[in-house]
Amino acid sequence: MKPFSDPNQTSLVDRSLDAVWHPCTQMKHHESLPLIAITKGKGAWLFDDKGTALLDCISSWWTNLFGHSNPRINQAIISQLEKIEHVMLAGFTHPPVVELSEKLSALTQGHLGHVFYASDGASAVEIALKMSHHYWKLNNKPQKKKFVCLENGYHGETLGALAVTDVAIFRDAYGSLLQDVFTVSSPDIRKAQEGESADDVARRAAKKLEDLLKSEHQNIAAIIVEPLVQCAGQMAMYSPEYLRLVRSLCDRFNIHLIADEIAVGCGRSGKFFACEHAGIWPDFLTLSKGISGGYLPLSLSMTTDTIYQTFYADQTQQGFLHSHSYTGNPLACAAALACLNIFETESVLEKNLERSKDLTKAFAWAKEDTRIQHWRQQGMILAFDIKPKSLKSPNSFSREMFSASLKEGVLIRPIGNTIYVMPPYILSAEDAMQMGTSVQRALDQVLV
């Protein structure tokens, strides 16, 4: 049995370490790594229990678009709360979910006109994978059940989503539980050889996919990709040319394209959907994270009328019989509608063009820094890598850098030797500058 800590004698942080098993964490590391108790947030700033302010450079795990405690989103949730907090979505519907689905469909100009809801990102991925295979089964191709994913891709950590994830740290312990997939080369621009452009790398990677599809397409249901940026995979960026090539290979070999826009969607890449940079539409598109502005768990998988119609029949079993208790929750949908309203009324995508230039300026120093390589940016994501020879201790760099930046008043969370920022879309030019100089000062403390 575990002893109880006395709330009057023990700090909030120590009580948390006693009672909360924190995600994505080796708990023992908290013997030296600070755990931070956040008690308040406003705009791009977070405040801990001692009142210390931290600039949130990572949008609360990539979810927050318009700042913490945003008055418009707060009000939308409060108004919805006074009407109804939960509606089961089987056999029932409600205004926010209808309006949200219509708006999202309109954002794809009707290409992806049917929206299926869940609560977390991994579940939206599971939905797309299941729907894809089920579609082929309904079309008398039950053997099409394998999935193709990209080297270094990330799609969540439930068993289905983890199977198509290729990030060793999340996958290794559970490999024996996961279904077999085909993993093809990533079009990561960092892999460019002497004289190669980003498009060349994209073509090289697409060729590998083509080779696989030539021999295996009869057994493959879908390929899943993170359009333009493999976020958890160290913010690896690639050319939209890859998406165009994959789209045409999918058409040629009769397999689905699943675009996982959970991290890069909702304006993060510079357009509302990252696929728009390539001028293509996938067969399934998943959203989560930013869709509710970082307020409430909400995820969804959008698909085409062709796929929807295949499931539309008299037999129950031919339907898509998948559900989650909080599917399309009214409060979460109200938050999402408030976000889409902000996009419409405040020209967010246009203003983000300027904001992304502020980021470029704030991190201009890093382009010249000899300790740094692979400086890259896609819209509101900016990243660079520390050269291995400049790292004091490669295994603990990300934790040391995290701690050093906290002391400088900024919250960043490096992935391996990659430093990135992915701030909310309300960042002022001054905040951006402060972010840049604070990160530089923190780096100076932890590098050789």
Residue 262 as a binder of ligand PLP (CB under 6 A): the answer is: yes
Contact pick of 46, 122, 426, 446 for ligand PLP (by CB under 6 A): 122
CB 285, min distance to ligand PLP, A: 12
Contact pick of 155, 247, 324, 376 for ligand PLP (by CB under 6 A): 155
Contact pick of 166, 260, 408, 431 for ligand PLP (by CB under 6 A): 260
Question: Among residues 286 and 377, whose Cβ is nearest to ligand PLP?
Answer: 286
* Sole window of 102-110, 149-157, 271-279, 410-418 interacting with ligand PLP (rule: CB under 6 A): 149-157
CB 267, min distance to ligand PLP, A: 15
Three-class secondary structure assignment of the chain: CCCCCCCCCCCHHHHHHHHCCCCCCCHHHHHCCCCCCEEEEEECEEEECCCCEEEECCHHHHCCCCCECCHHHHHHHHHHHCCCCCCCCCCCCCHHHHHHHHHHHHHCCCCCCEEEEECCHHHHHHHHHHHHHHHHHHCCCCCCCEEEEECCCCCCCCHHHHHCCCCHHHHHHHHHHCCCCEEECCCCHHHCCCCCCHHHHHHHHHHHHHHHHHHHHHHEEEEEECCCEECCCCCEECCHHHHHHHHHHHHHHCCEEEEECCCCCCCCCCCCCHHHHCCCCCCEEEECHHHHCCCCCCEEEEECHHHHHHHCCCCHHHCCCCCCCCCCCHHHHHHHHHHHHHHHHCCHHHHHHHHHHHHHHHCHHHHHCCCEEEEEEECCEEEEEECHHHECCCCCHHHHHHHHHHHCCEECCCECCEEEECCCCCCCHHHHHHHHHHHHHHHHHHEC
Contact pick of 288, 301, 327, 434 for ligand PLP (by CB under 6 A): 288
* Sole window of 19-27, 29-37, 82-90, 120-128 interacting with ligand PLP (rule: CB under 6 A): 120-128
* Sole window of 168-176, 256-264, 267-275, 385-393 interacting with ligand PLP (rule: CB under 6 A): 256-264
Contact pick of 121, 267, 330, 436 for ligand PLP (by CB under 6 A): 121
Contact pick of 41, 43, 67, 156 for ligand PLP (by CB under 6 A): 156
Question: Among residues 259 and 443, whose Cβ is nearest to ligand PLP?
Answer: 259
Contact pick of 66, 154, 326, 343 for ligand PLP (by CB under 6 A): 154
Question: Among residues 288 and 356, whose Cβ is nearest to ligand PLP?
Answer: 288
Residue 151 as a binder of ligand PLP (CB under 6 A): the answer is: no
Residue 80 as a binder of ligand PLP (CB under 6 A): the answer is: no
Residues 289-308 that bind ligand PLP (CB under 6 A): 289
Q: Which residues bind ligand PLP (CB under 6 A)?
A: 120-122, 125, 154-156, 226, 231-232, 260, 262-263, 288-289
